[in-house]
């Protein structure tokens, strides 16, 4: 069920520390950690501590928590000294989502081209 930890979710396991991660920031509601398969010199994921399958579900159910994720993405960019960065939310496997727990990708450290792909 949305909002509750999922036993088979990698990111839920990172929240509970069952799976290690290189955590760069943590708040009461979010965890930010380095992506294990970075697509840019700086690639950090920001996740809510509660489980929602994607960003739209998170925003619909808990808009304040969605705002927390966005705010933390900005804090990550500031701490990583990125003046320019890209924030990405993939929704669904066709868009490249591989872990079905809402998360923001914060990417930077190089020029970003448009369109992205």
SS3 4: coil
Domain membership flag for residue 1: no
Residue 3 located in a structural domain: no
pLDDT tens digit sequence for 40-68: 999 999 999 999 999 999 999 999 999 99
- Indicate whether 90 belongs to any domain: yes
We report the CATH number of the domain holding residue 44 as: 3.30.428.10
Q: Which one is catalytic: 43, 51, 54, 103?
A: 103
Cα separation, 34 vs 117, whole angstroms:
22
Does residue 76 fall inside a structural domain?
A: yes
Over residues 11-38, the pLDDT tens digits come to 999 999 999 999 999 999 999 999 999 9
Q: 2 pLDDT exceeds 70?
A: no
Is 103 known to be catalytic? yes
- What is the C-alpha separation between 94 and 54, in angstroms, rounded? 13
| Count of domains observed in the chain | 1
Residue 81 has a pLDDT of 97
Phi-psi region of 24 (alpha: psi -120 to 50; beta: other; left: phi over 0): alpha
Residue 113 resides in a domain: no
Task: Answer with the residue of higher pLDDT: 39 or 6.
Answer: 39
How far apart CA 78 and CA 76 sit, in angstroms, is 5
3-state secondary structure 58-105: HHHHCHHHHHHHHHHHHHHHHHCCCCCEEEECCCCHHHCCCCCCCCEE
Domain hosting residue 91, numbered range: 10-108
């Amino acid at each position: 069920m949305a909002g509750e930890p999922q036993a088979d979710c990698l990111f839920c396991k990172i929240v509970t520390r069952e799976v290690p991660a290189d955590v760069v920031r943590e708040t009461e509601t979010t965890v930010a950690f380095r992506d294990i398969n970075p697509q840019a010199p700086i690639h950090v994921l920001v996740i809510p501590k509660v489980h929602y399958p994607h960003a739209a579900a998170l925003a619909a159910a808990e808009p304040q928590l969605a705002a927390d994720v966005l705010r933390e993405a900005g804090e990550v960019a500031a701490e990583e000294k990125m003046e320019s960065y890209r924030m990405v939310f993939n929704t669904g496997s066709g868009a490249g989502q591989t872990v079905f727990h809402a998360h923001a990708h914060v990417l930077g450290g190089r020029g970003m081209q448009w369109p992205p792909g």
